[in-house]
Chains A and B, each alone.
Chain A
Amino acid sequence: MKLLTHNMLTSKCMKGVTVGYPLKINAFDVKVSEVDFNPEFVSRIIPKLDWNVLYNAAESIGQVEDMPKSIVDDYENNTDFLKKVHRVLLEVEVINGELVCPETGRKFPISNGIPNMLLNEDEV
């Protein structure tokens, strides 16, 4: 699971959960692998992100490195910044771990990079 995916996931569909976002990450095994850098894609995605959630997620798994705490001005033209965001969004991957619902504490295991979000019938 990449952190871009984490930025999009919620547990709101569970019974009794009102926001369900962001999910907490417990990472047991993190991998960073090289992914082609496309500045145009990263620029398009930035306004769609919940930036604080991305930053905190990266920080919580020790992968923030020197990515700035807030979005810099004129980021479309700042290759250095875009590269740092690219790394956090697409290169960092949680291979094994769990996602945790912030309200109920329900754990969703991640194994071999695949999160298991399936709920039992009595949970929805």
Chain B
Amino acid sequence: MDLKTPLFDLSKFKNVYEPSEDTFLFLDTLEQELQLILSIKPDFVVEVGSGSGVVITALANACKNISFCLATDINSEANSATAFTAKLNNVTIESINMKYLSNFKPNIFDVVLFNPPYVVTESNEIKGTGLNRSWAGGKNGREVIDEFLKLLPNILSYKGVCYMVVIKENKLEDIHNVVVDLGLSCYIVKERKVPGEHLFVLKMYRK
């Protein structure tokens, strides 16, 4: 099944993460997984940290009339960019300024996407709500990832599945153990080496 790459134009949104290798890997993963995603008939689909909005827009386009799609980001310019991208591609996405999915009722999401800030940085670089939050991941690039993972059991619906981008430096083996300890299954569904980054996409769901 094909996943249309959305149109986007970030010329009005200077402080928003520009779609990059990780974004495109994520899009390719969703294309690969699309049949499976559609087969669970997701009611509620959400992207955490939607940035430009291209990822959730691509999926919203494939789930038109099947799912209700939402997106959060802590960067308010990203919220506007996501709404703009959705409009440009004629899909409906509810864009919300929020940390993770903190203000949603528990266990409602059937599909959760997150391309997190995964770069290894100093912990004190994780501050504010600007462009730095796109990449600053703190120690082992894991600080935001780990905070998110802890929330995941209270985010996923009984049939929910989460896709998340990570890099080698995030220590995959350890992430796997953390996720399994939370009572979820964790698999690598995509892998790609690009100059400077060894990227993976993980898929997590209830056992």
Contact = CB atoms under 8 A, between A and B. Distances in A.
Interface in A24-41: 35-36, 38, 41
B66 A41 contact: yes
A48 B103 contact: no
A2 B94 contact: yes
B74 interface: yes
Interface string B98-126: 11001111001000000000000000000
A52 to B, nearest CB: 15
B interface, how many residues as a size bin? 20 to 34
Interface in A76-122: 90, 112-119
B45 interface: no
26 contacts: A2-B94, A5-B94, A5-B96, A8-B104, A9-B105, A10-B103, A10-B105, A12-B103, A13-B103, A36-B65, A38-B65, A41-B65, A41-B66, A41-B68, A44-B41, A44-B43, A90-B92, A112-B83, A113-B95, A114-B76, A114-B83, A114-B96, A115-B98, A117-B96, A117-B98, A118-B98
Given A12-B103, A117-B102, 10 more contacts: A9-B104, A10-B104, A13-B102, A44-B43, A48-B43, A114-B96, A115-B96, A117-B103, A118-B97, A119-B99
Interface of B: 41, 43-44, 64-66, 68, 70, 74, 76, 79-80, 83, 92, 94-99, 102-105, 108, 129
